[in-house]
Structure formats: C-alpha cells, structure tokens
Chain A
Amino acid sequence: MEQVIQLEKVNKWFDDFHVLKDIDLTVTKGQKIVVCGPSGSGKSTMIRCINRLEAHQKGHIIVHGTELTNDLKNIDLIRKNVGMVFQQFNLFPHLSVLDNISLAPIWVKKMPKKEAEEIAMSYLEKVKIPEQAKKFPGQLSGGQQQRVAIARSLAMNPDIMLFDEPTSALDPEMIKEVLDVMIQLAEEGMTMLVVTHEMGFAKTVADQMIFMDDGRIVEQAKPDDFFNNPQSDRTKLFLSQILNH
C-alpha cells in the first residue's frame, strides 16, 4: 500500500509543555483513521502538525514524499493536497456560501471564476445544501455550516482530509447530517484522519483506531480489537467512560 503520511518520532512543545512525545504513525492511501483520547492528549495538535498549522520541533513528518520543514514551498504544496475541517467550522462570515467554497480554487488554483463556482455548486450538491449557495454563513445552522466547510475543503480536490472534532460544536440533532457526509466521503475512498468522540462513526468507518493520552499514542488497533479487546488499562478506562455515557 502506498504510504501518504509518515510521522517519525515527532515531538512538539508549547513552551515547557511537551504536547507530542515520539509520535510514530503511518497512513496509507484510502485509510480511515479515527483518533480519540481525553482532552489535552495532543490529538488535535498531532493532526494540525500534518498541514503545518502547528510546527513540530523534533522528528519528521512526510506527506506524499515531501517533508514538512520551514520551507514555505513545501508547506504550500502539502496544504494543496490536504484538506482540513475544524471544530468551529471557521467559515468566512463576510462571504456567501458559494464564495467561501470558490475562494481557494480561484486564488490558489487560479481557476476561472465561472469554473470555480460550478465546482463549488457540485460540492454543495454533494453535501446536500445547494439551495443555500447565496446565503451567508450566519444564516445557516451549525450542521449546514459544517457541511459547507467540508465542501470548501473538498473543492480544492485534496486526497487527504483531516477532521478536527468536526461534530463537537454541534447540537445533537445536527451531528448525524455531518457524519453522513463523512461516511459518504469514506465510502468513496478518501484518505481520512478524524479526531472524534463519535464511537458509532468510528465503528462504521474506521479501519484503524488510535488512542492518545498525555502526548503519546497509547494504543493503535483495528476497531474490532480496539473496542472488544483493548490492551492498555488507560484505553479500557477511557472506553468505559465514553461508551457508558
């Protein structure tokens, strides 16, 4: 299998605080990895390092054979191929939904406006809200905003998608509509790295589970083994809390 992301002994500090400790991770093409763990365990920081929203201080991160360094060219190259969806949606409030999505194709890929808008519409249809194209983000529900955010990422045609707790800021009744879009994406073969506590989603979609605690990957296993036969006590405790809740 083709390796698309490799993390080798990645370490990161926020001042004195050691957030990531010797992280090793390999992602192959088409793989869906769900990352879970208590808050502060470094899971968000880890995926934010993959498109350089955070810089790591030690170790190597290689995406599509390009190593992430301070070289801005490499960072731009990697960002073009790696999409990211945030917990807080982070739509641009002064732009319409359509403009939110077509912005990057127009400015980063230098696509003609008309073509970019056609692409934007096709992705809006994919996330099932084409009728909202002319509205502004403030006029949409949280679930709709997050689907626009997914469409915005997809419009750059990335081959890897990072999701940073995409449903944590949503009301319960809106979580499903976002997860459905993500499941559809997974079925189409997108390589996905998802930080989430939605264990139902993990069981449906993931082919690899990662549990992080205190800046380390504590356990990495297939979902079946992970849920039914966790190895470490820390994972067992976490799962018992999150599943009985």
Chain B
Amino acid sequence: MSIVTQNFSRNKYFNWAVKNLFSSWVNTIMTIIAVIFVYEIGSFFLNWSIFSADFKTNFEGEIITDRTLCSKNIVPGEYGACWAIIYARWDQFMYGLYPVEETWRVNLTYALLPFAIIGILFDKLPFRKLFIYFTFIFPFIAYFLLYGGPGLSTVGTNKWGGLLVTLFLGVTGIGLAFPLSILLALGRRSKMPIIKSLCVVFIEFIRGVPLITLLFTANVMLPLFLPDGVNPDNLLRALVAVTLFQSAYMAEAIRGGLQAIPKGHIEAAEALGLTYWQTTRKIILPQALKIAIPPIVNTCIGLFKDTSLVLIIGLFDLLGIGRAALADMTWTKLYYEVYVFISLVFFIFCFGMSRYSLYLEKKLKTDNS
C-alpha cells in the first residue's frame, strides 16, 4: 500500500487532479459533466472548422469559386465550414477597396506598427529611446504610406476598409485620446473652477451618451461647426467621435491613478520650488500612469471592439466588409464562416491587450514590493 501511494505521490499532476477534480462525489460528477461538455463542443467545433471544412478546395478537389461548390452545399449531411469565402475576400478583409497594386503600402504600415508600439509597452526594452522616437514619427509615415503624398498616389479614405479601418480607428483613436485624456483628468482635479467644470461636463456628457449617438452626431453635425467648403470625410468624422469617446473613459482611468498619489508628494515637490507642470510631469504622472495602465488597457479593449459600430455610418470596417461579403450573391448565407473569422481577428487583438494588462499587473506588484 505504502509503495503504491508513494509511487503516486511522486506524480504531482495526479495529486493535483485528485485534490481539485475528484475530491468528493459532487466534484467528480461536475468534473465528468464538464469534460463531456467541453469534449462535445470542442470536437464539434474542430470538426466544423478544420476536419470536415473546405479551405480553398471542396471534397472533390475543385477550387471553390462560389458557395454552390462548397461541400456542404453538395453533399447532404455535410456541415463543415467553407472557408473559401475568406480566401476569396481576403484582400477586402485586410484592405477594403484599397487598389490591389498599392496594398504593399498597407502591408508595410502593418509591418511597421509593432515597432511603433513596442517602445511604449515595455519600459526595459533595449534602445527604448529610439523606439519611442519612432513612435512619434510613425503617424507621419503611416499617413504618407496610407493616404499618399509626393511619389505615392493618393488613396482616398473612402477606399479604406476592413482591418485597415478597424486598426486605424483603434490605434489612432487611442493614440489621440491618450494626451487628451491626461489633460481632462488633470483638469477635472484642477483648482480653477471653470477648467474643472468644463472637464467634468465634457467627461460626464461623453460617458452618458452611447458611442452610436456620438458617431451619428459627428457624422451629421461636425460639418455644421466647420467653415463652408471644409467637408471632412466620413472616416475623419468617425475618428473624432471615437477619440472623444475614448478620451472621456481614459480620463476617468487616469483620474483613479491621480487619486492614488499621496498629497505629501505634491507638497514636497512644491516645497522644493517645482512648478505645477514640473510636478505633474516629473512626480505625479509617472506614478499615476503606472497605476492606471491596467484600467487604461481595459478601456482600449472596449474601444477596439466598439470601432465595429462605425458600420452604421457607412464605413466598412472588418465587420462591415464581412456583411458586404455576405450580401454578395456568390457567397451569401455563409454567415458562420464570416462571423467566426471576424470574431477570431478581434479576439487576437483583444486577447493580446488583455494578456499585456495581466503582465503589467504582475509587474506592478513586484515593482512595488
């Protein structure tokens, strides 16, 4: 007996399973039910999405050029996914209606984007300063590449679509909202009553209104505020709405960080003769932003998903392009494939942000101990 237990006790996985999965009758039954559930769902999904699915070709090896050639539309009882729609529409999903011969410009922008972000994300990165410089020149490079300029033909934003619009709104919205939100958060804590009430009204108004309403408002009302003849395109209008929306939420996250800074630090800085802006830049913000990063990332995840709402003002983001693909008679009715694919793309980005936020929380804990 003792030999047997000893043998088992060496196996820590076995011990863990006994302790956590089979500790009592109830626990055992729950474990079995859960396993069956996960198995059923998982095997169905894997079968659907991979094992019985068509990719570029159907079960007879024919290249799928429209939905009638999908195996599931030929063989009765066959249910596997027909991913050919994604292949056929890949360029639209990635670039929208961007001219095919110019898509290298979008690809190059996509390839440069990680280098522009990485310096902000990791504070111990080697050559971080260089990366941060790049972060600041990246918007100009991206503008030149995507929109065009000397040497590159102009591609109007009405041709942009798919992931390009989603990333453009997400990244630019977050990037522009960040400095704005810092000012709003500081303003909300200002001792100057007018600035304070302006910030409070702005933040509370934006937070009290759905993004859809803001998008409609920006779309319809922005031209009214601008001089005659200035007619910002739809994407720019959406960007304004998205930026204002995000800045209000981010400002509240940052305000939480500001509140965590002991008053004594500010007094010490004042007593040393530092001005308000010096104190803010050197003492308050470095500490407050560090605390606020996890909630900031949360708002960023929310915004990234919310960008899909722009399809209601006629922009073709990832979701809009997907719906356009479904409206095409050649491919119609392949709902599952399209929505699963779109979900997957959103998931990859949001899950990445979420993991980053967790990583930061862990790092903050060790930094402070």
> Which residues does A use to contact B, with CB under 8 Å?
51, 53, 76, 79-80, 82-84, 86, 88, 90-94, 103-104, 107-108, 138, 149, 152-153, 156
Given contacts A90-B262, A92-B283, A94-B290, A107 and B267 within 8 Å (CB-CB)? no
A103-B282, A107-B282 given; A93·B287 CB < 8 A: yes
Complex Cα gap A117–B300 (Å): 39
Q: Which residues of A contact B275 (CB under 8 A)?
A: 76
Whether the Cβ atoms of A92 and B268 lie closer than 8 Å is yes
4 A-B pairs besides A103-B282, A108-B278 with CB distance below 8 A are A53-B267, A93-B287, A94-B286, A108-B273
Nearest 9 CB-CB pairings of A with B:
A90-B268, A104-B272, A90-B264, A84-B271, A79-B273, A108-B273, A80-B273, A88-B264, A107-B278
Q: A197–B262 Cα gap in the complex (Å)?
A: 25
Shortest distance in angstroms between A46's beta carbon and chain B's nearest beta carbon?
Answer: 15
The answer to the question of B19 belonging to the interface, with a C-beta cut-off of 8 Å to chain A, is no
Q: Is the CB of A153 within 8 A of B272?
A: yes
A22 to chain B, nearest CB (A): 26
Tell whether, in the assembled complex, residue A53 and residue B274 are in contact, meaning their CB atoms are under 8 Å apart: no
Q: B265 within 8 Å of A by Cβ?
A: yes
Q: Which of A53, A103, A156 contacts B270 (CB 8 A)?
A: A53
| CB neighbours of A90 from chain B (8 A) | 262, 264-265, 267-268
Q: How many A-B residue pairs have CB under 8 A?
A: 57
Residues from chain B with a CB closer than 8 A to the CB of A104 are: 272-274
- For B2-32 the 0/1 string (1 means CB < 8 A from A) is 0000000000000000000000000000000
Residue on A nearest B368 in the bound complex, by CB? A138
B220 to chain A, nearest CB (A): 45
Instruction: Check B286–A86 contact: CB distance below 8 A.
Output: no
Complex CA–CA separation, A91 to B273 (angstroms): 15
Alpha-carbon gap, A245 to B346, bound state (A): 68
Q: How far is the CB of A63 from chain B (nearest CB, A)?
A: 13
Contact of B272 among A93, A94, A103, A138 (CB under 8 A): A103
Distance between Cα atoms of A128 and B270 in the complex (Å): 26
Question: A153 to chain B: which residues have CB within 8 Å?
Answer: 271-272
Contacts of A94 in B (CB 8 A): 286-287, 290
20 A-B Cβ contacts within 8 A?
A53-B267, A53-B271, A76-B273, A79-B270, A79-B272, A79-B273, A86-B268, A90-B262, A90-B264, A90-B267, A92-B269, A92-B282, A92-B287, A93-B287, A107-B278, A107-B282, A108-B278, A149-B268, A152-B272, A153-B271
Contact A79 to B282, CB < 8 A, known contacts A88-B264, A90-B262, A92-B265: no
For residue B15, give the distance in angstroms from its CB to the closest CB of chain A. Answer: 38
Please name all residues of chain A whose beta carbon is closer than 8 Å to the beta carbon of B273 when the two chains form the complex: 76, 79-80, 104, 108, 156
Quick check: B267 and A86 within 8 Å, CB to CB? yes
Contact A86 B272 (CB under 8 A): no
Task: Name the distance in Å between B288's Cβ and chain A's nearest Cβ.
Answer: 10
**Contact partners of A79 in chain B: CB under 8 A:** 270-273
Name which of B264, B269, B271 has the most chain A CB atoms within 10 A of its CB.
B271
A80 nearest in chain B by CB position: B273
Least Cβ distance of A48 to chain B in Å?
A: 8
Inter-chain CA distance A51–B268, complex, in Å, is 11
Chain A residues with Cβ under 8 A from B290's Cβ? 94
Encode B216-258 as 1/0 by CB contact (under 8 A) with A: 0000000000000000000000000000000000000000000
- Nearest chain A CB to B110's CB is how many angstroms away? 35
In the assembled complex, the Cα of A76 lies from the Cα of B279 at a distance in Å of 13
Least Cβ–Cβ distance between B292 and chain A, in angstroms: 14
Report the Cα distance A32→B286, complex, angstroms: 37
